[in-house]
Amino acid sequence: MLLYYEPQPSGQTTHVLSLAEGLDRHHYSLTVALPENLKQSIEAFQRTGVKVVPLRMRKVAWAIEAVATLIHLVRYEEFDIVHIHSQEAGLLGRLVSWSAGARTIIYTPQTLDIRRASLHKPYRLIERLLALVTTSVISVNELDRRRLIEWGLPSQKVATIHNGIDLSPFEEPIDIGDLRESLGLDASAPLVMQVGRLSAQKDPLAFVEGAAQVVHQYPTAQFALVGDGPLRDAVMARIRELGLERYVYWLGWHNDAFRLIGAANVVTLTSRWEGTPYALLEAMAWSRPVVATAVNGCPEIVLDDVTGFLVPPGDTRAWARKASELLDNPALANVMGQQGRKRVEERFTLQQMIGRLERLYCDMRHSRAPS
């Protein structure tokens, strides 16, 4: 069983859906449990042919019937493996699955950081305690694997499996001008794009602040934010305060956001913390250069000065300089984009991710087998 939570379709859905589509059905019978409010995600999973169980889940608190349903699933479906994704689902989901008698519990948090600094120490303690009922923890980047071990998790329980993407959708030709026009953008003006939830983690306000600096030097540039979230009103207000209505566009949430990335000249990520972000992998799959913050797994994806640029989180001046450099030098941008595509092909494909995960699943089952 695959179980996850997120408030709206984003990286978690992309990740778990890729597993539902990529795991070998000759060897795995899959059930996916997810929040009942993710209607489009539920439909996407159903189209893959897996069993789908919507649950009344919230970020931390779950409805009683959701807990009861999960207990019933684990107890009576007798899953060989319960694989839980996301911090939110991992907190209660692991305890409920363990109490219901789950044979093997695997946990992929995607990211280890949380917004409230006052909760950092309690969170690390909770992760240490929950590791006692967890068979294996998958980190999506090597830096966070080392952090988990520093927190006190047994090293033999923690593995790194980077996220990977299916490259076939990125082979389809696109008309950049038509795509931009369909989004209400200038077909000929250079475009800087960021895809991600409008939340504190992604720091979209830094994108707006950086854009304000770029337009002073590059007044023909346009900027687009793709996504939605709790900071939407703050982002829109800041765009108005800086007089950027003609330059920065909010495109809202799109189910096929990865396709929109093909319209960009430069793709950025201003996150304060991350895991192994799909937006960067998708940008590189489109052969687009990136400017990303050097947090968590981003330096493991982006080779600084090779496939794009890395900047410190919150440093909007550095972000603006690097974005301007790519806009000023299309030849450099093209070379970096091609290098990015090559790196994804070599290191971050869906087939590689699925292969590593299936080997881990196999190891877990063999370690449980009677001698």
Q: What is the pLDDT of residues 113-125, one digit of tens each?
A: 877 777 789 889 9
pLDDT score of 11: 87
**What span, in angstroms and rounded, lies between the C-alpha atoms of 132 and 229?**
34
Beta bridge partner(s), residue 32: 2, 52
CA end-to-end span of the chain, whole Å? 26
The predicted model scores a pTM of 0.93
Q: Is the pLDDT of residue 195 over 60?
A: yes
Domain annotation for the chain: domains and CATH numbers? 2-164+350-368 (3.40.50.2000), 168-347 (3.40.50.2000)
Supply angle C-alpha 267, 111, 17, rounded to 5: 75
Average pLDDT over residues 321-341: 98
**What span, in angstroms and rounded, lies between the C-alpha atoms of 294 and 268?**
12
Average pLDDT over residues 231-245: 98
pLDDT score of 8: 86
- Phi, psi (deg, nearest 5) at residue 309: -130, 145
pLDDT score of 118: 74
Do residues 203 and 312 touch, judged by C-beta distance below 8 A?
no
Q: What is the pLDDT of residues 13-57, one digit of tens each?
A: 999 999 999 999 889 999 999 999 999 999 999 999 999 999 998
- Neighbour order of strands in the sheet with 136-139: 51-55, 31-35, 2-4, 82-85, 105-108, 136-139, 158-160
Q: What is the pLDDT of residues 303-320, one digit of tens each?
A: 999 999 999 999 999 999
Three state DSSP letters for 289-348? CEEEECCCCHHHHCCECCCEEEECCCCHHHHHHHHHHHHHCHHHHHHHHHHHHHHHHHHC
Q: Which of 60-69, 202-211, 252-261 is predicted most confidently? A: 202-211
Do residues 108 and 138 touch, judged by C-beta distance below 8 A?
yes
pLDDT score of 368: 61
